[in-house]
Structure 1
C-alpha cells in the first residue's frame, strides 16, 4: 500500500502493538481463532512455569484455556508443526511455496551452497529415509541408521548430528514433516501425509500473503529485518507506511488497527518468547523495555530470573515476574516481581490478580518469597 507515511505517537504505536496480538481486554473466542490470528505458536518445552505455547494461549484466553485443546488440535491436524512452531494447517501451502524454492533465492549465500552440497553428498541417506518412511510411516529420528558419507560439521550442538541435519534439510525442502511426538522424541513422516493437499501458490504470492499475516499479528513492524528467520524478512509493500515520533526510519502498520475503536487495557503476564517481546530491538524501541531471556546466563549474573515473564499493563511493559512452578510441591513459587516503573495501586492489584490466575490455571497454590 503506497502513499506518504502517516505519523504516530509512541502511545499510539504501542496501542497497535498490543491490540494486534490480542492482549487487550477483548479476548479471542478460542484457541484455534487465536492461533489462526497469531499465525503460529512457538514450541519451547522448557516448563519452568509452563511450556511457552501454553503460556501464550493462557495469557490471551485466561484460566478457561485447557492445554489438552492444543494437543487435540495437533492430533486432529488443525495445527501442524513446522520449524518448532505450530502453524494453522491452512497456511502450510504458503510455507510449501518456500520449501519448493530450497535452498533459496539466487544468488545463493555461502551457507546455502554448503548445505545443498552437503545434502547432495549424502543423497543415499536422504533416499534411505524416504524409503523407510514410505514403508513404515512415522519414525523417530533416532531410529534412522546413519548412512551419511560426509559428516555434518558445525561449531554448535548440531556437530556430528548427521541424521538430524539431513532431516532438518528435508523438512525445509518439503520432503518430510513432523508427524507427532512421543515424549520429547520427534516423529517424522512423508510431508504428503502430514500437510494438507492444498494448491501451492507462486512464491511471490505466498511471500506477500505471509507478510500480510505477519503484519496482522504484529500490528506494527519495521519494513525489514525481523529477528526471527522463520518470519517474513521483508514487508516493504504491506500495510501503511508510518513514522513514529522519536524513532528513526519507516515502519509498516496494518490499517485494520488505524481506527477510533477504544483501547481496552488489562494486565498480562507474557512468555519470554511471546510475539510482543520476541524481537528485542522492536520491544526496546516501542516500549523502552530492557529485557533478555536469562536462562543461558550464569545464575550470579541474572538480573531478573531464569524465565522472567514480561509484565504488560495497558500499553506499557512495566516489569518482570520471576516465578517457577514446583509440581512436586504443588506451588507456583513467586521469587520476585521486578518493577520497571513506580506502580500505582491499580497496577499492582491487576498484576497480582494475573499471578493468582496463573496459579489457578496451573492447578497449584501460589507461594511468595
Structure 2
C-alpha cells in the first residue's frame, strides 16, 4: 500500500482521535483510548498538567484530571506499572508483564542492601495499610538505580517492581503502596503469562507499540523503549513474524525511503479516513505523547521537528523548559509554553513559536486555551503571546 505524507498524517491523527470531532468522551472514552494505545506514559513533572493527563486532555472530550485518578485508584481499571517506562496500563494487561516482574525479582544487584528489610516493610503494610516511604521509617541511605535513596523507598519500589505491591494511590507525586492481592482480582493475579516464549513476548510487545503509535518503522526508536531484551535482531525478527502472521502490513510513504508498518486491523479505519474530511481542531500535545514517541518519524511524515528541552541546559535550549507542540487540523503549526500558576489559579501562555508559513487561527487558539485553562482548574488566563 502506498500513501502520500498527507494521507499518512491524516490517518495517524484520526487513529489518535486528534482530528475532527472528538471520538473519545468521558471515562468510557479514556477506557477505549487506553485499550487502543496499550499504555500512556507517566511523568511526574507538572508545569501545565502531567504527561498522562496532557495525553488525555487532547483526545477526551470534557476530560478532568480526577477521571484518570478515579479509574486508577477508586475503580481500579488501570494500574501504574512499567511498560514504556513508567506508564498507566489496563489491569487486564497484568499477566503480560510477568517477565518484567520476574526479571526484577532475579536482578539482585541493587537488592543486596535491602533484602533484609522486606519483612519489616511487609509488617508495616499489614499494620498500617497503604504506606509511603516516610511511613516505613527506614531512613538509612542505599544505592539505587537513580541515585542514593532511603532504604524504605528502595524496598517499597523493589517489592512493587516484583509485583508483590502496587501503587494504591498518590498524593501529588508521593506514592502509597499496598499488597497487590488486596486490590487486584484473583483471576488476574493467578493468570499465567500468555506469551509462552520470548519470541511471542517480543511479537506481542512490538505489535502493541505499533498499535499505540499508529504506524512505526523497523529501526532504533524511543517507541520501543523498555521492551526488555529487545535488540535490533529480535526487533527485526518480531516485525517479520508479525508480517508473516498477517498482524501487520507494510506501508510505503511517498518521498520516504524507509518502510512503515501498521496493524492490519487498522486498514478499515485507514480506508474510511482517506474518504472523509474533518473540521480542524487545535490541540496542545503532550511532550511524551504516544503519537510522537518516534520523533524522527514525525519529522519525516509531518515535517515537524520536536525536541523536549526539559533536560537540556538552559543555555542550549532553543525554545524553553516545558514547551509543547501545537496541532491544528492535520499539521503541527508550532509550539507553546503554557505555565500554570497554582497560587493564583492562572494559566500564563508565556510564548508561542509558529512554524514557517503558519498563521495562528485566533478563534481556535482562544477556544483551545480556554479548554486548557479549565482542564488545569485555572480561573484566569494571561496571554503573553499576544505582545
Q: State the Cα distance separating 1:170 from its structure 2 match.
A: 2.9
Counterpart of 2:91 in structure 1 is 89
Does residue 279 of structure 1 match 2:294?
yes
Q: Pick from 111, 119, 127: which aligns with 2:111? A: 119
Q: Pick from 121, 125, 130: which aligns with 1:129? A: 121
Counterpart of 1:138 in structure 2 is 130
Change (3 A) 1:328 1:37: same
Counterpart of 2:222 in structure 1 is 227
Counterpart of 2:163 in structure 1 is 174
Q: State the Cα distance separating 1:131 from its structure 2 match.
A: 4.3
- Alignment partners' CA distance in 1, 2:54 and 2:149: 34
Q: State the Cα distance separating 1:334 from its structure 2 match.
A: 1.5
Q: How many residue pairs end up in the alignment?
A: 349
SS in 2 for 1:289: coil
The answer to whether the 8 A contact 1:92-1:195 is kept is no
Change (3 A) 1:14 1:44: same
Counterpart of 1:99 in structure 2 is 100
The answer to whether the 8 A contact 2:114-2:151 is kept is no
RMSD between aligned alpha carbons?
3.0
Change (3 A) 1:69 1:200: same
- Alignment partners' CA distance in 2, 1:222 and 1:127: 46
Q: State the Cα distance separating 1:248 from its structure 2 match.
A: 3.8
Counterpart of 1:11 in structure 2 is 6
Aligned ranges 1:304-315 → 2 under 5 Å: 304-315=319-330
- Alignment partners' CA distance in 2, 1:239 and 1:24: 24
After superposition, give the CA deviation of every residue in 1:253-279 in whole Å (9 maximum; x if it has no partner): 123433321253432111212112233
Change (3 A) 1:167 1:281: farther
- Alignment partners' CA distance in 2, 1:226 and 1:126: 37
The answer to whether the 8 A contact 2:139-2:150 is kept is no
Does residue 319 of structure 1 match 2:334?
yes
The answer to whether the 8 A contact 1:80-1:195 is kept is no
The answer to whether the 8 A contact 1:43-1:85 is kept is yes
Q: State the Cα distance separating 1:231 from its structure 2 match.
A: 5.5
Counterpart of 1:152 in structure 2 is 143
Q: State the Cα distance separating 1:135 from its structure 2 match.
A: 4.7
Which moved further from structure 2: 310-319 or 136-145? Answer: 136-145
- What TM-score results when the alignment is normalised by the length of structure 2? 0.78
Aligned ranges 1:286-297 → 2 under 5 Å: 286-297=301-312
- Alignment partners' CA distance in 2, 1:202 and 1:361: 38
The answer to whether the 8 A contact 2:214-2:291 is kept is no
Where structure 2 has 5 or more consecutive residues not aligned to the other structure, the ranges are: none
Counterpart of 1:108 in structure 2 is none
Counterpart of 1:252 in structure 2 is 261
- Alignment partners' CA distance in 2, 1:342 and 1:358: 25
Change (3 A) 1:366 1:287: same
Q: State the Cα distance separating 1:335 from its structure 2 match.
A: 1.7
SS in 1 for 2:168: strand
The answer to whether the 8 A contact 1:19-1:219 is kept is no
Change (3 A) 1:247 1:341: same
Counterpart of 1:355 in structure 2 is 369
- What TM-score results when the alignment is normalised by the length of structure 1? 0.82
